[in-house]
Amino acid sequence: MGTTLESRTAVVTGGSSGIGLATARLFADEGARVVITGRNEARLRAAAESIGPRASWIAADLAREAGARSLAAQLAGLGLRVDVLFANAGAANAPELFETTEDGFDAVIDANLKSAFFTVTACFDLLADGASVILTSSVGFHRGTLGDPLYTAAKAGVRALGRGFAGQRAFLDRHIRVNTLGFGAVATPLTGADNPDVARAMRDWATANVPVKRPADPLEAAGPALFLAGAASSYLTGAELAVDGGLAQL
């Protein structure tokens, strides 16, 4: 067990599977008390048990402002000050482009952009001075041919939020850093890793399109989050780290 986050409290949204769960496990292994959040209580309970005694969970629908406020209220009720906030919740829920209704449009924005905005603003007063805020984005918006336009637009908004939050005097005065992780192809349930046919298709796509010839494992996505959470990244704020195997870089 490491000590990078010893005596720190980390909140990981979307923490019951995929990148969120891998990151929560890594944070706990590095000494943090971890609170994972999501909508499904049974999955959260199982995930927290799999992480171990350093983990607990809070159920909240962060696609709604009320859910973010509920998360903040429950964290406050536990008497926690948050040293690391990983706003990772999101969904690959974009419908077919020319079949997108207004409700479908709103669902994508709510899950991927509104959730990040209200998670950070609702929890801001609970952040410790010097805290690290990490947002999950996607590198897809850097190239028009990567991903669905609506999903990547939402993730572009998350990247803009990261820069915008970081530059706010309220964050700077308290030395709260805000950085963004831009992911490419990561093998998670969100991208169909639980379905053998979908997982195979994703591996084939990554072999053909990603410079390193494969998708990332969730732990490879968690490692950069640990870097941003700890003191090694103390001079970074407003930055985007592309964790994409060169997909949008080369």
| Residues that are catalytic | 151
Amino acid code (one letter) for 31? G
Gyration radius (Cα) of the chain, Å: 17
Give the dihedral sign, CA 73/58/219/155: negative
- Which residue from 21, 52, 53 is spatially nearest to 36, judged by alpha carbons? 21
Residues 6+ apart with CB under 8 A from 64: 110, 118
How many C-beta atoms surround the C-beta of residue 164 within 10 A?
14
- Residue 156: both structure tokens together: 């572009």
The SS3 assignment for 206 reads helix
Could you list the beta-strand ranges (E) of 64-202.
82-87, 127-138, 177-183
Amino acid code (one letter) for 93? N
Helices (H) and strands (E) in the chain, counts: 9, 7
